[in-house]
Amino acid sequence: MERFYTIREVMEILQLSYTTVYGMCANGTLSSVKVGGSIRIPQESLRKFILENTKGGQKNG
């Protein structure tokens, strides 16, 4: 089963503010799902975002 991250966990991983991560989820930059009243970011979505925004390296599958 895939792991899901909270906004706060993604904040710590990417070293961004809550508002920035929330905005990325809201505008579709970072795929997310709403569970009850909480936003969750699938691990694969975070991985894809990081790979697509990494410069100077190769994308490994």
Domain boundaries, the chain: 4-45
> Quick one: tokens of 25?
């989820």
Q: What is the maximum span of the chain, computed from C-alpha positions, in angstroms?
A: 39
> Quick one: tokens of 12?
């710590």
Residues 19-31, mean pLDDT to the nearest whole number:
96
> Quick one: tokens of 52?
């697509």
Helix (H) or strand (E) holding 47: helix 43-52
Residues 13-37, mean pLDDT to the nearest whole number:
96
The mean predicted confidence, pLDDT, of the chain is 92
